[in-house]
Amino acid sequence: MKDIVFDGSRRTIEDICHIAEGQARVSLEGGDAYKEKIEKGAEFLDHVLEEKGEVYGVTTGYGDSCTKKVPKENYYLLPLHLTRFHGCGMGDLFDDPTTRAILATRLQSLSLGFSGVSYKLLSGLTGLIQNDILPRIPQEGSVGASGDLTPLSYVGAALVGERDVLYKGDVRPAAEVLAECGMEKHRFRPKEGLAIMNGTAAMTAVACLAYKRAEYLAEMATKLTSLASLALKGNSYHFDDKLFAVKPHEGQAMTAKRIYTDLSGHSETDIMPEKLQDPYSIRCAPHVIGVFYDAAPMLRQLIENELNSANDNPIIDPDSRSILHGGHFYGGHIAFAMDSLKNIIANLADLMDRQLAVLVDEKFNRGLAPNLSGSTGDYSYNHGFKAVQIGASAWTAEALKHTMPASVFSRSTECHNQDKVSMGTIAARDCIRVLELSEQVASACLLAFVQAIDLRVKSGEIEADRLKPLQNLLDQVHGDFEFLEEDRPLEKDLRDTMAKIRSRYWRLDYHG
């Protein structure tokens, strides 16, 4: 368990993922200096209101309604109504890890001290995380500016004891669960409802989780390429360092080196490769997978900068005694990162699907059994991985279909006040869907490629020494998957394998 203290310091993608997966103990900095820093913003805002200064979303209505003045006696009702009228989300609910990530991401932004909120509000958000009280947040309804208003309204509602939450596996009224956990229902101070909702927490939380899943999938695609090359009696020199030294994309070269190392069990006495050049799906795998690694630093920077930003409106700076009206809720950077990442991931799915297509086809698989069937000679009714390849092709096609960039589908909303929006949340959700489908393809390939290796071993075409760099993964798969001799339904095997990919169960031995 990792200890993560929210104190306004910088957080990483990994921090959010640890919290999402229940692998961190979360606390809020409790020192006097930090409390004073947070309260300073709320007190400055109170001072401005006492002097009858105009503050958007505090003394005015929201969005296009900012021309409507709010009487002083309604300053505390306004944020409550904001959470209520945005309670119109639809679609599937975010799962538990994503909900935890959303809570942590919003807490991080507010903990920077530029949102004019009270320390008590931060304590309430921290309490939700610590007690694992999870608002039920629908995925659909955000255009990504003004931030994730509708999804985050469910966080605000939970804090004030409204709507339902998930607690210890049961869906219950928020007020009831807060009382059981010894937490008070929060009373929003002016702007606190807006500060909770007017930001990019949902899309950024999803982006953090997507990045880590993509990182592991790239490693899996690398390992699968090694297995596929070995099973195909491929040419390991496609991955030689000297070749990649003349095209200096670092991520591409790193991928090639990993594959070459995996194939380093070859010796001078090994038989020559079947062909001088392997299909592109083998030979060009580093050029496909390497795109992720070369883009990853930029993607990480975009996601983590958003994670560590004050992204509501207006920004409250008590030190300069400024109230700054702007558009930091706009999720364009996350939209770009997620549109880019889903393209990279879908290309990984397409690569893996093409490798599988080569290996099951007796016209191209260089002597392997048709459809990788383990049947002892009678292929007339045993069809091995034939249907699995069809399924993988379907999953790949659906993943590719989702690569249309969401960010270009901006809509004018909210009486043309929000007339250019990011669609960042839709892009992030698309990215997760592409990941889900690509992980399904990877699960099919892992089982099929291990079957192909086993067929070579059974026929005496691969010596044990050549498997040493890949033996760890082979042993893991053999522990869960029975060699496919006679046809059987493979759905359970596929689902179990996919779940392990999603949880990063397989030890791939790639580091740095």
H/E element holding 293? helix 285-307
Mean pLDDT lowest among 144-153, 286-295, 390-399: 144-153
Distance separating the N- and C-terminal Cα atoms of the chain: 22
Question: Among 383, 392, 382, which residue's Cα sits nearest to residue 355?
Answer: 392
Please tell me whether residue 43 adopts helix, strand or coil conformation.
helix
Residue-wise pLDDT tens digits, 416-451: 677 778 889 999 999 999 999 999 999 999 999 999
pLDDT band of residue 267 (cuts 50, 70, 90) is very low
Least confident of 36-50, 269-283, 494-508: 269-283
Averaged over 473-485, what is the pLDDT? 95
The predicted-structure confidence for 32-83, as pLDDT tens digits, reads as follows: 999 999 999 999 988 888 886 777 767 776 766 666 787 878 888 888 988 9
Q: What DSSP string describes 335-386?
A: HHHHHHHHHHHHHHHHHHHHHHHHHH-TTTSTTPPGGG---SS--SS--TTH
Task: Output the pLDDT for position 378.
Answer: 67
Give all domains of the chain, ordered by start, each with its CATH number: 2-199 (1.10.275.10), 207-502 (1.20.200.10)
Q: What is the pLDDT of residues 328-337, one digit of tens each?
A: 898 999 999 9
Q: Which helix (H) or strand (E) holds 172?
A: strand 170-173
Mean pLDDT of 461-476: 91
Is 56 among the residues known to form the active site?
Answer: yes
118-150: pLDDT as tens digits:
999 999 999 999 999 999 999 999 998 878 999
Q: Which of 56, 330, 381, 505 is catalytic?
A: 56
Q: Are 190 and 173 in contact (CB under 8 A)?
A: no
pLDDT band with cut points at 50, 70 and 90 for residue 377: low
How high does pLDDT run on average in the chain?
92
How much of the chain exceeds pLDDT 90, in percent?
Answer: 79
| Least confident stretch, 203-207, 369-373, 440-444, 446-450 | 369-373
pLDDT score, position 512: 43
The residue written with tokens 């999803």 in the block is 206
C-alpha closest to that of 212 among 427, 15, 4: 15
CB–CB of 241/464 below 8 Å? no
